[in-house]
Structure 1
């Protein structure tokens, strides 16, 4: 395995740079002379909200069995509701939501879907203008894991900003109602919840068994979270021990929430041994020396979907590719109710791969329907690969 001291990252405007991956497959040696340590950071969309979970409580439905700092439950979905009445003589202008769940969630405001997420060590941030003066409804469908006895928890912080600059805060606590089933239409304000029990307080955030939650930041300062995995192909039974020599392409297509457009991305990435990273067909980074991860941020031409693609090369021994991406979206033109969001993408089995590097594989329109799911190799910690600080 090479251990060259130089690591590099390239970040250029995605509207102007276009490099063919096919022509780059054979340029591994020349890349080391071409690139220099360049790191371009672009500040993500600013938010006036300074939300955290310090006053929030992990909650669940009343089937939660208490454990130290948390709770266990059976597999399946639960419904949560929280009524909120705005201040008199004030008009809500936007609402910021910080949310995570073990294991995944869908969040609604006044029956409108705002966003979804998974991987509980990561929080998701959404901004929406859907609140109105008077009575409003926050609703969540949260789903626990697939085992018969599995952790289940929901953690929320919400900040409502009014037209005079003042704010209100709503957090996850026993003021929420929770049901062990998910009835049709429960997201509506007029839905009858008079028989619903209160949510169960599982643990304050600071003392919970779930530990610290990674919150999207502006600008993003990255560390790999425990949700992030090294991935590779299934060509050998243990890629963390030995993998075939050569280059392998990986792709992931990510779709923005309804009515929103992807506007920027922050990326933390590394590969054993070498990689070239593309967004929507444009090469934005390249690196080698697997012990050093690369961090970069870039603005994107607004689009409802974004394609991340990687040409990863193994020179012998173990092979793996790891990335964590924070995506920022804003409302599409003409959509006054679409809000914004900041979401995470990690390397997992949702990425696809194939055994050769075809021309144009990095382009959004490329057909990857016949590609195979990537294979989980090992979690970021503990792992064979040990990182130095990101460059």
Structure 2
């Protein structure tokens, strides 16, 4: 199955995903400092589960750049004002390593948030869904060069702050 056919075969939703940010807001959905913030999550490789591709949907308030294993996959202004639009990306993954999905999300004023759903297909024919939650790692500082590289040691990064489920205010 081609990656394009894969993306069209099983549309994703944010139903089980959460809006996350860095914990810099006083309240969920509250105003956050302007500027870029890094986010990372790892899709583990095991002897029995080898990831081969991922379909990803993402919305960020206000902008984002998406990376898989250090390579830029896409970017956009995904949330401005009262309208939000998710983008769909399908990327090949390496079955031999732990794969890293990284996002540089930028707030340009007001509330800041990131919401993602990832559907991973494994070599054995099974699939698994990953969502934005406290398992994502982040920093309360501007995004540093190289943050998207799988070899980066993110052990000192903090857990992302869960602001609430998809559909919460101010994102609706």
TM-score, L = length of structure 2: 0.88
Q: Please give the alpha-carbon distance, in whole angstroms, between the structure 2 residues aligned to 1:361 and 1:289.
A: 21
Equivalent residue runs for 1:242-257 within 5 Å:
242-257=31-46
Q: Choose from 322, 340, 345 the match for 2:130.
A: 345
* Secondary structure of residue in 2 paired with 1:244: coil
Q: Choose from 290, 311, 331 the match for 2:104.
A: 311
Question: Deviation string for 1:79-124 (max 9, x for gaps)?
Answer: xxxxxxxxxxxxxxxxxxxxxxxxxxxxxxxxxxxxxxxxxxxxxx
Q: What residue number does 1:383 align with?
A: 169
The structure, 1 or 2, with the larger RCO (C-alpha pairs under 8 Å, 6+ apart) is 2
Q: Is the 8 A contact 1:350 1:374 kept in 2?
A: yes
Q: Provide the aligned C-alpha RMSD in A.
A: 1.9
Q: Is the 8 A contact 1:273 1:314 kept in 2?
A: yes
Q: What residue number does 2:144 align with?
A: 358
Q: What residue number does 2:50 align with?
A: 261
* Secondary structure of residue in 2 paired with 1:260: coil
Q: Please give the alpha-carbon distance, in whole angstroms, between the structure 1 residues aligned to 2:148 and 2:156.
A: 15
In structure 2, list runs of 5 or more residues that go unmatched.
none
Q: What residue number does 1:57 align with?
A: none
Q: Is the 8 A contact 2:66 2:72 kept in 1?
A: yes
In structure 1, list runs of 5 or more residues that go unmatched.
1-39, 45-216, 331-338, 387-391
Q: Is the 8 A contact 1:270 1:287 kept in 2?
A: no
Q: Please give the alpha-carbon distance, in whole angstroms, between the structure 2 residues aligned to 1:239 and 1:285.
A: 27
Q: Please give the alpha-carbon distance, in whole angstroms, between the structure 1 residues aligned to 2:8 and 2:107.
A: 34
- State the 1:236 CA deviation: 2.3
Question: Deviation string for 1:46-77 (max 9, x for gaps)?
Answer: xxxxxxxxxxxxxxxxxxxxxxxxxxxxxxxx
| Count of matched residue positions in the alignment of Structure 1 and Structure 2 | 166
Instruction: Give yes or no for the alignment of 1:320 onto 2:136.
Output: no
Equivalent residue runs for 1:1-391 within 5 Å:
42-44=4-6, 219-225=9-15, 227-290=16-79, 291-330=84-123, 339-354=124-139, 355-386=141-172
* Secondary structure of residue in 2 paired with 1:383: coil
Q: Is the 8 A contact 1:306 1:364 kept in 2?
A: yes
**Cα pair distance change 1:343/1:366, threshold 3 Å:** same
Q: Please give the alpha-carbon distance, in whole angstroms, between the structure 2 residues aligned to 1:221 and 1:268.
A: 9
Runs of 4+ in structure 1 deviating by more than 6 angstroms, as ranges, are: none
**Cα pair distance change 1:342/1:218, threshold 3 Å:** farther
TM-score, L = length of structure 1: 0.40
**Cα pair distance change 1:259/1:289, threshold 3 Å:** closer
Q: Please give the alpha-carbon distance, in whole angstroms, between the structure 2 residues aligned to 1:289 and 1:247.
A: 14
Q: Please give the alpha-carbon distance, in whole angstroms, between the structure 2 residues aligned to 1:266 and 1:219.
A: 11
Could you say which structure has the larger radius of gyration? 1
